[in-house]
Chains A and B, each alone.
Chain A
C-alpha cells in the first residue's frame, strides 16, 4: 500500500449549525516511544517503542496479531496504565492518571443488571467530576440527552427495559450510549462487535459511522476484523506481535459517507487483503 493523501471528509451534518473545534496543530493523542511491561522488571514486555499520533476528529482502527498489545494501547491512552518508558500525551497533557475525556466500550457490554438501560447510560455522569454534582438538579436535561442518544443508536423507547431484556446487539448499542453520554472527546472501542452476529455487526458499523459523522468525537477502534477497520476508519494502524509496536499506518482512501456496498468493491477487498498479508507476516515474525 502506498500512502495516499487524505480525502476531505464528507460529514453528514444534521440540520443544526455545528461548530467545529478550532483546529489545533497538536494531535489529540500522542504516544511517543512508549515501553510498557507487566508484572515487574522480569515480566512480559507488552509494548516497546510504541509511537502513534491521533488527530482530533480522526477515526483510527488498530489491528494486529493477537497479543500485540492492542488492549495495552487502550489502557495507556486512557491513563489506566502509566508507561514505564516514553510519554503519552492526551489533549496537550501528559497522562499520569486516568483521563476523564474518554469514553470506553468493550466487547462485553457490562451493563449493570440491577439498573434499567437508561440508568446504566447515566452511570458515567454519576462519576465524572464535572457532571456528578449537577446530575440531581438537572436530571431531566440529562435524561433527555440519554434518550436522544438511544434514538441515535436505534433503541428508542428501550430506556426503561433492564439490560437482560435486551438482545446482545441492543446491549452493545446501549453500551455505546453509555460511552458517549458524558460527551467524551475520545471514544475508545475494544472489539465492541466481536461477540455479535454478522448482520447485527454491520448494523452497528453503520451506527458508529453515523455517530462519528454527526458528533465531534475522535474514535480509536481496536479490532481483529480487518473489514471492519477498513470500512470505518480514516487510518488503519498495524501493530506487530509482542512486544507490540506500530509497523505501518494506512490511510483509508474511500470517500465518506461509506455505504455497506463498499464491502464488495474490489478496491476495498484489495486493501483488506494487503492488511491481512501484513499481519500474517507479523505473526510469522513472532
Chain B
C-alpha cells in the first residue's frame, strides 16, 4: 500500500505547477494543425498531382490568390444559409408548437413530416427553379426546407413529453391548455429547440450549397462547380475550407446561444 501512495504522491504533486499550458483549450487548434500537416506530408510523399488532391499550402495559396471572389461568394452563401435558417427557426417553432399542441395533430402530421423529410432536397431544387428561377431564392428555400425538420421535431417532442403528473396538478387547479403550454410546455421544449439549432444550421449550409451548385450564378456552391469544370481543384478545396470555417463559426454561435438561454437544462435532468 505504501508503494501506491508513493507513486501517487510523486506523480501528481510535482506536476501541479502554475502557468502550465492548458492543453485542453489548445487541443482543437493543435489537432487542426496536425490534420493539415499530415495532409501536406501525405500528398507530398505520395506525389499526387494538384488536380487530384492539392496540398493545404496550395489551397491556402488559392485562397489568397482568389480572395475577392471567394469572399464575395462566401458572404453570399452565408447570407442565403442564415436567411433560410431564420425562416426555418420561425416556421419550425410555429409548426412544432402546433404539432405538439394536441395528440391528434401530432399523430396526423408527424408521418407527413417524416415523409416530407425523407424526400432528398436536391430533388426539390428543380421544382423551386421552375417556380422562382435560379439564384438566391431557391438557395434560401432549400436551406429552409432542409433545416426546419429537426426544429419541428424537437419542439414537438418537448411539448409532447410533458410529465402527466405535472399536467394533472395544473389541470386540477383549473389550468387551460394554453396555461399548460405557456407555463410548462414552451419553457420545457426550449432546450430541445436550442439543441436542434446546432443540427439545423449545419443542414442549412448543405441546402444552400446544393442549390447554388445546381441552380445559381453565385455563392460558394456555384464557385466550386465552375472551378471544378476548369480543373481548378485548389479553388474547389478553398471553397470547401471556407464552408467548413463558416459552418464551425455558426455552430459555435448556436452552441453559445443554447448555453446562454437554457443553462438550467445542462445541470438538471429532463427525464424526471
Contact = CB atoms under 8 A, between A and B. Distances in A.
Our verdict on whether A and B bind, yes or no, reads yes
Interface of A: 75, 78-80, 98-100, 102, 104-106, 108, 110, 112-114, 123-124, 126-129, 162-164, 178-179, 182, 188
26 contacts: A75-B168, A78-B168, A78-B172, A79-B172, A80-B172, A100-B172, A100-B174, A102-B173, A106-B169, A110-B165, A110-B166, A110-B169, A112-B166, A112-B184, A112-B187, A113-B265, A114-B190, A114-B262, A124-B169, A124-B170, A127-B170, A127-B179, A128-B173, A164-B269, A178-B169, A179-B169
Given A110-B166, A127-B179, A98 B171 contact: yes
B175 interface: yes
Which A-B residue pairs are the 5 nearest by beta carbons?
Answer: A164-B268, A113-B268, A78-B172, A100-B174, A106-B165
Nearest to A175: B169
Contacts of B187: 112, 114
A280 B270 CA distance: 37
Contact of B163 (A75, A100, A102, A108): A108
B269 A100 contact: no
B50 to A, nearest CB: 54
A184 to B, nearest CB: 9
Given A123-B183, A126-B183, A100 B173 contact: yes
The contact size tier of chain B is 20 to 34
Contacts of A98: 171-174
Given A113-B268, A114-B187, A163-B268, A127 B174 contact: yes
B231 interface: no
A160 B26 CA distance: 37
Nearest to B163: A110
Given A98-B173, A100-B173, A113-B270, A80 B168 contact: yes
Contact of A104 (B169, B183, B188, B268): B169
B173 A182 contact: yes
A80 B165 CA distance: 11
Interface in B172-205: 172-175, 179, 183-184, 187-188, 190
Contacts of B190: 114
Interface of B: 163, 165-166, 168-175, 179, 183-184, 187-188, 190, 262, 264-265, 267-270, 272
Contact of B171 (A80, A110, A126): A80
A78 B169 CA distance: 10
A80 B170 CA distance: 10
A78 to B, nearest CB: 4
B172 A102 contact: yes
Contacts of B173: 98, 100, 102, 124, 127-128, 182
Nearest to B172: A78
Contacts of A108: 163, 165, 272
Contacts of A162: 264, 267-268
A43 to B, nearest CB: 17
A129 B176 CA distance: 11
Contacts of A102: 172-173
Nearest to B184: A112
Nearest to B174: A100
A178 B175 CA distance: 15
A98 B272 CA distance: 25
B87 to A, nearest CB: 27
A179 B170 CA distance: 10
B272 A127 contact: no
Nearest to B263: A114
Contacts of A127: 170, 173-175, 179, 183
A7 B163 CA distance: 41
A124 B272 CA distance: 20
Given A114-B188, A127-B174, 13 more contacts: A75-B168, A80-B171, A106-B169, A108-B272, A110-B163, A110-B169, A112-B187, A113-B270, A114-B187, A114-B265, A123-B170, A129-B174, A164-B267
A106 B166 CA distance: 9
A75 B169 CA distance: 10
Contacts of A105: 169
Contacts of B174: 98, 100, 127-129
A253 to B, nearest CB: 32
B264 A113 contact: yes
Q: Which of B169, B262, B264 has the most CB of A within 10 A?
A: B169
Contacts of A124: 169-170, 173
A122 B262 CA distance: 21
A128 B163 CA distance: 20
